[in-house]
Chain A
């Protein structure tokens, strides 16, 4: 039972992460892969505040999410100067740089990780309560993103994604949208990280590296980028599927890479066979090809 509840906690955390990543990447078209670093910032800041300053856990969770939101400027500011591949590479530099700092500082626990993080709640039904909490937070995250992308603001986001120059020519401020998207998405990732830290009481730097970026990309791609339910479906599917392998009783040295092979094969298959993901519709109706459906994008590609 405890195992099942733990898997459900992981599903909830991954839903928050994938949904917030989808807001930045899928809807905003902002090609940053540094999302896991805000997950890390939330986890480490919240954990360190609770350990060293004895700040109450709920408050430290909120502060952790807030710090992640503020530090999202580290990626949103570059997005004002560069885009596309350049933004991807800048975000990788940002992610690996911060991770390297965490990996080498004594007070963050260095490579060994941060241990003895105070848990959010205790008692016999600790996991069940936490599952309910994380389910509520995950549902709020999905609804928040759904609410943001609907209506006028959502149309402005789509317009900016499809043709930023035309969007700016109409007198709209793309800069504000980018900063807001990064701040909200990163804040949500920070919240997920803080919740993770105060449930498992232990975090290590290797949980937030480039492989986690790929795992989140997988969830968004397989579920369907730029769709409301896609990241949720992707997160649920890709958190539960690898768990099936654990029942094979394989040694850890085989199980971890085997899970990786399955993950990556799944993504590659989807990229070729169904780039719109499980929940995406035809071209323009979501998925990775949503951007290329825009007339401006097609014109730009032709010009290239």
Chain B
């Protein structure tokens, strides 16, 4: 029987599970906005992030902070190498969209196969046990993982918001996203902006993979076949270029998925995502529009770009 307790539990579980989806969606959306690349290679970066964390935690037995730093360094290295030695090369060659698409998807597959070769095809977790202490509040089970995940995601989103809207480099990112040629005329380095955005994405990805790996086991193919698809749907739902809305869309999708268990058998839940991706692209290719008051996290990009260009001109 459906009770308020069950509904509350589904809401909470969906919300907590949305944390890593939110991070992946924001990372994907940021690279799409600034670097202007549908970065399907993000799944490959996610694989590298996860397995570097796995080596640090399980093989070397490092404590939390050094392990996270190691994972972050590996992820940053892979991300920056992708930008410098792949995306930049294709941009300079004026390569077709298809070339970029094939490269990004094949890079992800390469990462999956490489990790299967090194670590095997079995799912692996970052800690030997995934059991977290659970507290009951008003009949709703809240695990310490839930609280940690929500706190980490909230802090990262706040920092990203402050970085983009309150720092000069953040404004440079928006300027490059709006018009890279005009930004360069004003002395903003396009290449540096690409590097910064993909580095921020690397931080979000590493954090997301840590959250995922402390809650569930990961197959090497999971990022490509599941996690990335979710990020892509959220990005499209939010409308291209709306970084924070992509995060909100990811939360909404996670909640839909959590509540869908009431009407759809669990084995059909993934189908919901595939139907959504198809329907959204065909009928809402520009995403859903929220009333202006509700989209307050997104500042009109033209104004930000103008501020950035003025800052830069003053340098």
> In the complex the two chains form, what is the Cα distance from A18 to B235 in whole Å?
31
Majority secondary structure, B binding face: helix
Give B220-231 as 1s and 0s: 1 = Cβ < 8 Å from A's Cβ atoms. 000011000100
Interface 9-mer from B56-64, B111-119, B141-149, B300-308: B111-119
> In the complex the two chains form, what is the Cα distance from A85 to B110 in whole Å?
21
**A257-B116, A261-B114, A289-B99 known; A86+B285 contact, CB < 8 A:** yes
User: Are B271 and A100 touching (Cβ within 8 A)?
Assistant: yes
In the complex, the number of residue pairs spanning A and B with C-beta atoms less than 8 Å apart equals 129
User: Are A86 and B281 touching (Cβ within 8 A)?
Assistant: yes
> In the complex the two chains form, what is the Cα distance from A67 to B116 in whole Å?
36
User: Are B101 and A104 touching (Cβ within 8 A)?
Assistant: no
- Interface presence of B232 (CB below 8 A): yes
User: Are B274 and A93 touching (Cβ within 8 A)?
Assistant: yes
Q: Which of B96, B121, B278 contacts A90 (CB under 8 A)?
A: B278
Residues of B within 8 A of A257 (CB): 113-114, 116-117, 121
> In the complex the two chains form, what is the Cα distance from A88 to B229 in whole Å?
12
> In the complex the two chains form, what is the Cα distance from A96 to B270 in whole Å?
9
Residues of A within 8 A of B103 (CB): 268, 271
User: Are A218 and B106 touching (Cβ within 8 A)?
Assistant: yes
**A82-B281, A261-B117, A271-B99 known; A214+B105 contact, CB < 8 A:** yes
Residues of A within 8 A of B96 (CB): 288-289, 291-292, 297
- Interface presence of A258 (CB below 8 A): yes
Residues of B within 8 A of A84 (CB): 97
- Interface presence of A247 (CB below 8 A): no
Interface residues on B, range: 35 or more
Residues of B within 8 A of A265 (CB): 110
Distance in Å: Cβ of B61 to nearest Cβ of chain A: 26
- Interface presence of A275 (CB below 8 A): yes
User: Are A100 and B270 touching (Cβ within 8 A)?
Assistant: yes
- Interface presence of A101 (CB below 8 A): yes
User: Are B281 and A78 touching (Cβ within 8 A)?
Assistant: yes
- Interface presence of B120 (CB below 8 A): yes
User: Are A258 and B117 touching (Cβ within 8 A)?
Assistant: yes
- Interface presence of B129 (CB below 8 A): no
User: Are A85 and B274 touching (Cβ within 8 A)?
Assistant: no
**A82-B282, A90-B278, A292-B94 known; A210+B102 contact, CB < 8 A:** no
Q: Which of A263-297 contact B (CB under 8 A)?
A: 263-265, 267-268, 271-272, 275, 288-289, 291-292, 297
- Interface presence of A89 (CB below 8 A): yes
- Interface presence of A188 (CB below 8 A): no
Name the residue in B97, B103, B267 with the highest tally of chain A Cβ atoms < 10 Å from its Cβ.
B97
> In the complex the two chains form, what is the Cα distance from A291 to B275 in whole Å?
31
User: Are B116 and A104 touching (Cβ within 8 A)?
Assistant: no
Q: Which of A80-109 contact B (CB under 8 A)?
A: 81-82, 84-86, 88-90, 92-94, 96-97, 100-101, 104
Distance in Å: Cβ of A226 to nearest Cβ of chain B: 10
- Interface presence of A298 (CB below 8 A): yes
Name the residue in B101, B109, B112 with the highest tally of chain A Cβ atoms < 10 Å from its Cβ.
B109
Give B252-285 as 1s and 0s: 1 = Cβ < 8 Å from A's Cβ atoms. 0000000000000001101100111110011001
- Interface presence of A52 (CB below 8 A): no
Q: Which of B109, B113, B278 contacts A93 (CB under 8 A)?
A: B278
Residues of B within 8 A of A210 (CB): 105, 224-225
Residues of A within 8 A of B114 (CB): 257, 261
- Interface presence of B169 (CB below 8 A): no
Distance in Å: Cβ of A88 to nearest Cβ of chain B: 6
Distance in Å: Cβ of A265 to nearest Cβ of chain B: 7
Residues of A within 8 A of B116 (CB): 256-257, 260
> In the complex the two chains form, what is the Cα distance from A93 to B285 in whole Å?
14
- Interface presence of A41 (CB below 8 A): no
> In the complex the two chains form, what is the Cα distance from A272 to B116 in whole Å?
25
Distance in Å: Cβ of A269 to nearest Cβ of chain B: 10
- Interface presence of B136 (CB below 8 A): no
User: Are B117 and A254 touching (Cβ within 8 A)?
Assistant: yes
User: Are B282 and A90 touching (Cβ within 8 A)?
Assistant: yes
> In the complex the two chains form, what is the Cα distance from A79 to B244 in whole Å?
29
> In the complex the two chains form, what is the Cα distance from A93 to B137 in whole Å?
39
**A271-B99, A271-B102 known; A253+B120 contact, CB < 8 A:** yes
- Interface presence of A211 (CB below 8 A): yes
Residues of B within 8 A of A114 (CB): none
**A81-B285, A93-B278 known; A31+B98 contact, CB < 8 A:** yes
Q: Which of B80-129 contact A (CB under 8 A)?
A: 89, 94-99, 101-103, 105-107, 109-110, 112-114, 116-117, 120-121
- Interface presence of A221 (CB below 8 A): yes
User: Are A97 and B271 touching (Cβ within 8 A)?
Assistant: yes
> In the complex the two chains form, what is the Cα distance from A25 to B116 in whole Å?
30
What would be 23 A-B contacts, judged by CB atoms less than 8 Å apart? A31-B98, A78-B281, A86-B285, A89-B236, A92-B229, A93-B229, A96-B225, A96-B229, A97-B274, A209-B225, A217-B102, A218-B106, A221-B102, A253-B120, A258-B117, A260-B110, A265-B110, A271-B102, A271-B103, A275-B95, A288-B96, A289-B95, A291-B96
Q: 10 more A-B contacts (CB under 8 A) besides A29-B98, A31-B101, A209-B225?
A: A93-B276, A100-B270, A260-B112, A261-B117, A267-B106, A268-B103, A288-B95, A291-B96, A292-B94, A301-B94
Top 5 closest pairs, chain A to chain B, by CB: A260-B113, A97-B274, A93-B277, A264-B110, A257-B116
